[in-house]
Amino acid sequence: MSSFMQLLCVELAIFIYYAVWKPQKQWITLDTGVLESPFIYRPDKRQEAWRFVSYMLVHAGVQHIIGNLVMQLILGIPLELVHKGHRVGLVYLAGVIAGSLASSIFDPMLQLVGASGGGYALMGGYFMNALVNFRQMVPLFGVFRLAFILIIVGTDMGFALYRRFLVGGDGLRVSFVAHIAGGLAGMTIGYVVFSCYNQKLLKDPRFWASILAYVSCVVFAIIFNIFLSPAT
């Protein structure tokens, strides 16, 4: 079983636990009981550093987890077949961390759930490669790939904006910034990683440039959370 299949099973198991065995109603949107999960990212518990990664295991409703699972199945598994698993994992994790840290800066008072940061990182890397190599593709195939990505992004962002601005009170709203930050991580680190194929990443100057930019942003986000965050 691929690493992405294992991750999908974990995400689905945690969703079922909160939606079925726990006395909650998480089928439509984020339930108040899920806010007490040790996995969710919450601004008032940001000192618990694992939450900046573990939030990807908790989802805000059935449409949220279905969207994430489909995205990971469509992108993650095929990418693993072409690239080594640890390369895909690197891009995915970079998107997850970028998503939570960016959310803690630009949406500091809201919680965060879902694997969209990682999924959008894979999509960002895939999109950049499709865009850069568009002329080398069969025209119809290239248009199909780009249109497919844009449809997924448009649909998922629609749900994300709905959860952010239209659902419930502030205690039930979740940030959508992770989508954007994950996509940007994918369009930089993901693009370099997925364009190397059989080349060694450590010998590619683009890889080091993207890593340096990424690390600089992460360091800034950590400093912000320690000294400047308005979250109590």
Q: Retrieve residue 52's tokens.
A: 């900046």
d(CA 94, CA 108): 20
Active-site option among 37, 103, 104, 116: 116
Q: Give, in degrees to the nearest 5, the angle at Cα 151 between 63 and 110.
A: 50
Count other Cβ atoms within 10 Å, centred on residue 162: 13
d(CA 121, CA 108): 21
Active-site annotation holds for 175: no
Active-site annotation holds for 103: no
Exposed e or buried b for every residue in 76-94, given b needs 16+ CB within 10 A? beebbeebeeebbbbbbbb
- Confirm if 74 and 31 have CB atoms less than 8 A apart: no
Active-site option among 179, 195, 210, 216: 179
- Residues whose CB falls within 8 Å of the CB of residue 84, separated by 6 or more in sequence, listed in order: none
What is the residue whose two structure tokens read 């600089």?
216
Q: Which positions are catalytic?
A: 116, 179
